[in-house]
Structure 1
């Protein structure tokens, strides 16, 4: 089973992977309070966009309402599990 998690793009072109020899376009993303570096080379993401992230790659730009709703569902599910 594959999972894609929504995240908000907070910075583009910054971080450890910004070197051209590493390929791709790197961005910093916020996963509900957890910051991670992702690759946004597959989508035309801008700072402030919400994206679906799978295996470190943004694979789709999301509507803000849908993204926030999905993040809240993940929170509720995790609270029940832990």
Structure 2
């Protein structure tokens, strides 16, 4: 099963390509933020934001409490481990998640 997993945007990786570096439980990957970026606004404004990441795209901005609650539920049902393993094994450092 493929789920959205919470991550925090920590840097702009490539503004022209709409990519930001997202930290997902210690694993950092480039993620497409076109779906959550405000039109005409700099991507730097997203640094620090929490997002739900699914197949390489930030699908929505969430608050830190929602991120923590989602990670807790995913861990409890065993899905967080599978998602993190896929991130670690399936992608290199510069790939998108």
Do they fold alike, i.e. is TM over 0.5?
A: yes
Give the drift of 1:3. 1.5
Give the distance between the partners of 2:15 and 2:4, measured in 1 at CA. Answer: 26
Give the number of equivalent residue pairs: 74
1:51-66 correspondence to structure 2 within 5 Å: 51-66=51-66
2:63 matches 1:70: no
Alignment root-mean-square deviation, CA: 2.5
- Return 5+ residue gaps in structure 1 as ranges: none
**Matched residue of 1:51: which SS?**
strand
Q: Secondary structure at the match of 2:46?
A: coil
Matched residues in 1 for 2:35 and 2:62: separation?
A: 14
Unaligned runs of 5+ in 2: 38-44, 83-97
For residues 47 and 33 of structure 2, the distance between their equivalents in structure 1, rounded to whole angstroms, comes to 11
- Give the C-alpha shift of residue 19 in structure 1: 7.7
Deviation at 1:78?
3.4
